Structures are given as structure tokens and as C-alpha cells.
Amino acid sequence: QVRLVESGGGLVQAGGSLRLSCAASGSILSFNMGWYRQAPGKERELVASIGGGTNYASFAEGRFTISRDDAKNTVYLRMNSLKPEDTGVYYCNAITPWLARYWGRGTQVTVSS
């Protein structure tokens, strides 16, 4: 069992930045890690993932950066040039080599116009 705890969300004005963190309860060395988000009334969607390489949703390209520090069992999502449409709950996700999937409880990001 892997516990994931997100932090770093909050209220920010449009054009601002936030850095989200996802702390895992154990080693994530071989895991594919990702950030997803869910806006009110919408389905959860992938924002970015990092494993052997990085992968970004089109809306995140050029504005968001995913990174990881395996020594700290932590994954980050740096978000710049935030827009009101980036508002939602951001979730951390881990996929193990044996394809078990874990989710955090999420952190709220609100971008005001």
C-alpha cells in the first residue's frame, strides 16, 4: 500500500504560479507518477506524468513542469501562467511496475480572474 499526500494548492490570481507537492509513504523509485485534475462537473483528466520521460496534456505544455525527487519520495508540479480554467482538485497518482494504482486525496487549486 502506498499513501500519497498532496500539498501546495490554494487561491491564486490569474497569471500566478503554484508548486504542488506529492509525498509518498515509501519509495517511488520504479513508479510512474502523475498529476490529474478534476474541475467541477467534469471528469478527471491527466495533467502530466513522469516515468522514463515526461508527458503533458496539451493545456499543460509550456506552462506546467512535472519533476520528481526519488530520494525524498516526492513528485512536484510547477504551474505557471495559471488561468481560471485551471481551477480544480489536483490529484497525485502512482502506478507501480505490477500495475497497481494509487491516488492521493487531492489539493484544491483555485485561480481567480
Local confidence band at 36 (pLDDT 50, 70, 90 cut-offs): very high
Local confidence band at 62 (pLDDT 50, 70, 90 cut-offs): very high
Distance CA 16, CA 72 (A): 26
Mean pLDDT on 33-62? 97
- The pLDDT score that the predictor gives to residue 5 is 98
Do β-strands 18-24 and 10-13 pair in parallel, antiparallel, or remain unpaired? unpaired
Distance CA 53, CA 102 (A): 20
Local confidence band at 1 (pLDDT 50, 70, 90 cut-offs): confident
Distance CA 30, CA 94 (A): 10
For residues 40 and 50, the model is more confident at 50
Percent with pLDDT over 90 in the chain: 97
Provide the β-strand partners of residue 90: 37, 107
Burial class (CB in 10 A: 0-12, 13-18, 19+), 79: buried
